[in-house]
Amino acid sequence: MAKQLYIETVGCQMNMLDSELVVASLRKAGYTLVETPAKADTILFNTCSVRQHAEDKIYSALGRLKHAKKHNPNKIIGVLGCMAQKDQRLIFERAPYVDLIVGPGQLHQIPELIEKIGAGAGPQMEVSLDRKAGTRGEIEQSFESYDPLRDPAMRPTPFQAFVRIMIGCDKFCTYCIVPSVRGPEQSRPAAHILAEARQLAEEGCREITLLGQTVDSYRNAADGRTWRLSDLLAALQEIEGLERIKFVTNYPKDMTDDLLSAVHELGKVSPYLHVPAQSGSNRILQRMKRGYTVEDYREMLARIRERVPEAAVTSDFIVGFSGDTEEDFDQTIDLVRESRFKNSFIFKYSERPGTKGASVYPDDVAQDVKKRRNNELLAIQNAISEEDNQPLIGRQVEVLVEGPSKNARRQADGGDVLQLVGRTHCDRIVVFDGNARQIGRLLDVAIYDANSFTLFGSVVTAHVGPEVYRL
């Protein structure tokens, strides 16, 4: 009998990709996916540790399963990913009915570990070495990259896929848990990435998004040459069937001119750059150990605007980091006002045990102040996004159709008109009426309205005639 798997994923695109790969390996082992924990005999949570809120969500989901486990002791409950690496045995202590704890570097072992549990071996835990628990080589090895099987059914759409090009991070920004839970920075060999992209294209994938914590720091030495991200993009451009190539997340200091030229010159590479600034104050950037000043960031942005004028740039900001005064926050507002990002993700600082931030700098900005600044900065950014979307009204954009929109509706008159959603080359969301056959295609859409987040349009149909026949 097929075994039933339920998996819940929180966090970033890296986690979505990890879940896709875990599901592919478990399908191979005879599992089918189900939509609720109640129907499943194996329940997995792929977790995030970047902010406390993401962890709280998982601990409360685990709490809700306590009775299910009592009722059916054969149910296997597993915690995967960053929280598994960070909390390790603490998870068994807080939720003693958990059977499985697997860090991001051991995901390939899951089918085997589940089998062991099923055979009565008791709870299993596999995690990587702590960042100070060995030589660099030993620690790198304990964080194995995991990129074997793909499972289109687990992707947002079958024609879009994430491809990992780097794992880990060595920047150690003082607020951030990622270097501890994802391990040392390691670039995947270019040949592996190209082979995976070719396979995805052959399976009908039209858009790939390359993933790395600092994707523009990509370096891989092979066959007597060093591959940088710009080299990789040039090689990916040649793959038949691929139409769009995106990459996230960029580190401001590593935004080199060769990369900007590649984005401008290679037609398949999306003119879309996510380059988090985090703060507009030099004092705070230094405390965050970001490795650049606000002047450096401005200079980088000016280079982007000059070399890739068509690019949409997006950013992340943390409000209320330790010591972040109203003056510092005003400088962040200034940076947001002048940079005209397409959009910004704004986060309230969340202290992470195990980071330098937690041990050295007090979490001294009140929660209500963080909340107020978050709302204020978001309102400023949203007004800019709305303003900058207005010039698109009346223009035609090329959209990769992703699927039905959230408010998809079927018209009652027997037609099959469906509200669809897609994205432009520079990652703007477009909503328009179409039909299911258009999903996965590139279409021209004429824009007639826009708000901060969305463009609204109509599909441009090829117009035939009127033709004039000579008699």
Binding site for ligand SF4 (CB under 6 A): 169, 171-173, 176, 178-179, 213-214, 251
CB contact at 8 A, 11 and 46: yes
Choose from ligand SAM, ligand SF4, none: what does 264 bind? Cβ within 5-8 Å by kind: none
CA angle in degrees (0–180, nearest 5) for 428-429-430: 115
Q: d(Cα 453, Cα 212) in Å, to the nearest integer?
A: 25
Residues near 455 by beta carbon (within 8 Å), at least 6 away in sequence: 389, 392, 397, 424, 428, 429, 430, 431, 447, 449
Other residues' Cβ atoms within 10 Å of the Cβ of residue 286: 14
Q: How far is the CB of 319 from ligand SAM (least distance, A)?
A: 9
Choose from ligand SAM, ligand SF4, none: what does 179 bind? Cβ within 5-8 Å by kind: ligand SF4
Closest alpha carbon to 275 in 301, 294, 295, 306: 301
Choose from ligand SF4, ligand SAM, none: what does 318 bind? Cβ within 5-8 Å by kind: ligand SAM
Q: Which residues bind ligand SAM (CB under 6 A)?
A: 12, 50-51, 175-176, 178, 213-214, 249, 251, 276, 278, 316, 318, 347, 349-350, 352
Q: d(Cα 355, Cα 176) in Å, to the nearest integer?
A: 6
Question: Which is closer to ligand SF4, CB of 42 or CB of 186?
Answer: 186
Question: Which is closer to ligand SAM, CB of 66 or CB of 219?
Answer: 219
Mark residue 427 as left, alpha or beta (left: phi above 0; alpha: psi -120 to 50; beta: remaining).
left
Choose from ligand SF4, ligand SAM, none: what does 172 bind? Cβ within 5-8 Å by kind: ligand SF4
Q: How far is the CB of 148 from ligand SF4 (least distance, A)?
A: 24
Q: How far is the CB of 17 from ligand SF4 (least distance, A)?
A: 16
* Cα four-point dihedral sign 397, 312, 232, 16: negative
Closest alpha carbon to 175 in 66, 29, 323: 323
Mark residue 402 as left, alpha or beta (left: phi above 0; alpha: psi -120 to 50; beta: remaining).
alpha
Distance of CA 416 to the CA centre of its chain: 33
Q: How far is the CB of 169 from ligand SF4 (least distance, A)?
A: 3
- For 194, 355, 417, 418, 420, the CA distances from 414, given in Å and listed in that order, are 45, 58, 9, 12, 18
Q: How far is the CB of 144 from ligand SF4 (least distance, A)?
A: 19
CB contact at 8 A, 5 and 31: yes
Question: Which is closer to ligand SF4, CB of 140 or CB of 151?
Answer: 140
Residues near 456 by beta carbon (within 8 Å), at least 6 away in sequence: 430, 431, 432, 447, 448, 449, 450
CB contact at 8 A, 175 and 357: yes
Question: Which is closer to ligand SAM, CB of 251 or CB of 432?
Answer: 251
Question: Which is closer to ligand SF4, CB of 155 or CB of 171?
Answer: 171
Choose from ligand SAM, ligand SF4, none: what does 320 bind? Cβ within 5-8 Å by kind: none
Choose from ligand SAM, ligand SF4, none: what does 344 bind? Cβ within 5-8 Å by kind: none
Question: Which is closer to ligand SF4, CB of 352 or CB of 425?
Answer: 352
Question: Which is closer to ligand SAM, CB of 25 or CB of 213?
Answer: 213
Question: Which is closer to ligand SF4, CB of 114 or CB of 178?
Answer: 178
Q: d(Cα 210, Cα 273) in Å, to the nearest integer?
A: 12
Question: Which is closer to ligand SF4, CB of 123 or CB of 168?
Answer: 168
Q: d(Cα 206, Cα 243) in Å, to the nearest integer?
A: 5
Choose from ligand SAM, ligand SF4, none: what does 350 bind? Cβ within 5-8 Å by kind: ligand SAM
Q: How far is the CB of 213 from ligand SF4 (least distance, A)?
A: 4
Choose from ligand SAM, ligand SF4, none: what does 31 bind? Cβ within 5-8 Å by kind: none
Question: Which is closer to ligand SAM, CB of 186 or CB of 249?
Answer: 249
Q: How far is the CB of 239 from ligand SF4 (least distance, A)?
A: 28
Q: How far is the CB of 211 from ligand SAM (least distance, A)?
A: 10
Q: 144 exposed, middle or buried (CB, 10 Å; 0-12, 13-18, 19+)?
A: middle
Choose from ligand SAM, ligand SF4, none: what does 4 bind? Cβ within 5-8 Å by kind: none
Q: How far is the CB of 427 from ligand SF4 (least distance, A)?
A: 20
Q: How far is the CB of 253 from ligand SF4 (least distance, A)?
A: 10
Residues near 368 by beta carbon (within 8 Å), at least 6 away in sequence: none
